[in-house]
Amino acid sequence: MVQSVRKAVFPVAGLGTRFLPATKSIPKEIMSLVDRPLIQYAIDEAREAGITEFIFVTSRGKSALEDYFDDAPVLERKLRDDNKTDLLNALSCTEMDSGAIAYVRQKEALGLGHAVWCARRLIGDEPFAVLLPDDVISGEKSCLKQMVEAYESTGGNMVAAMEVPQEQTSSYGVLDVQDDMGSIVSVKNMVEKPDAASAPSNLAVIGRYILTPKVLQNLSSFERGAGGEIQLTDAIAKEANGEGVYGFRFRGERYDCGSKIGFLKATVAFGLSRPDLQDEFSTFLYDLMATSKAAE
């Protein structure tokens, strides 16, 4: 029996330069799809997968994230006095038990691998999940829950994977597959940001991981990889020998909300999926398209 996954790390210490000037003062993870910040989607997903301890790796300028998961007594009292029960209910997803959420600082943005390493003392000696809030995944069952279920039969390390167009491999960590068993693949190597010609496959890693503490040890050598950063992919690749690392083809739609186009696509998709907005919003989009077609 594998040890259950109770802890999740949320690396949120990046600079978010692709969203400047907005991210000069707003953490990227607080930017919202309709009315929920990106971080809320990641927390909900972790909760659905059975995570009970939440570790944020933060940096200077991210205090809005801490406030978001704190009580807001003045606001709550006002909503209660005004009988705004629906709005009070909307706030309930931001509630965290005392001590369930912890923050560590990454002093310098040296890479995703370094950010995860910063959480090592809070993780201790047990398997843990990593969720990148930029990757928002919609679907019937949350991506991390699907992974936790698959991990119960594989153990080891598991990364979420999806096929990408070959010309996009240079934006991802890419799997060198040993055995393709359908939704699960065993991995013999992983390469961070290979160009299309040298990529071992087009099966790319996206921001959900279940990792063993051995990966933290591997990170402590501070080896620099692609882009001069301490890469999480490289530390996981050290465990890949056909049995130590598995790729998991999740079911669901993934939006890269770390990029402008991905964020826009997610905004439209989530807006259209909201019963309270879909009629007016779809009419608006339809009219907008018709007007721009007519103008061509």
User: Residue 86: enclosing H or E segment and its boundaries?
Assistant: helix 85-91
The tokens of 265 are what?
A: 């696509």
- From the CB of 266, what's the least distance to ligand UTP, in Å? 15
Q: Which lies closer to ligand UTP via its Cβ, residue 45 or residue 134?
A: 134
Q: Which lies closer to ligand UTP via its Cβ, residue 31 or residue 203?
A: 31
Q: Which lies closer to ligand UTP via its Cβ, residue 87 or residue 122?
A: 122
- From the CB of 63, what's the least distance to ligand UTP, in Å? 15
Task: Give the residues lining the site for ligand UTP (CB under 6 A).
Answer: 11-18, 28, 57, 106, 109-112, 114-115, 132-134, 258
- From the CB of 118, what's the least distance to ligand UTP, in Å? 8
Dist. CA 161–CA 146, nearest whole Å: 12
Q: Which residue is nearest to ligand UTP (CB)?
A: 14
Identity (one letter) of the amino acid at 12? V
**E strands in 79-231:** 101-105, 128-131, 135-138, 157-163, 173-180, 184-192, 203-211
Dist. CA 120–CA 219, nearest whole Å: 10
- From the CB of 226, what's the least distance to ligand UTP, in Å? 11
- From the CB of 184, what's the least distance to ligand UTP, in Å? 25
The tokens of 73 are what?
A: 């007594």
User: Residue 58: enclosing H or E segment and its boundaries?
Assistant: strand 53-58
Q: Which lies closer to ligand UTP via its Cβ, residue 187 or residue 257?
A: 257
Q: Which lies closer to ligand UTP via its Cβ, residue 33 or residue 177?
A: 33
Q: How many CB atoms lie within 10 A of CB 245?
A: 27
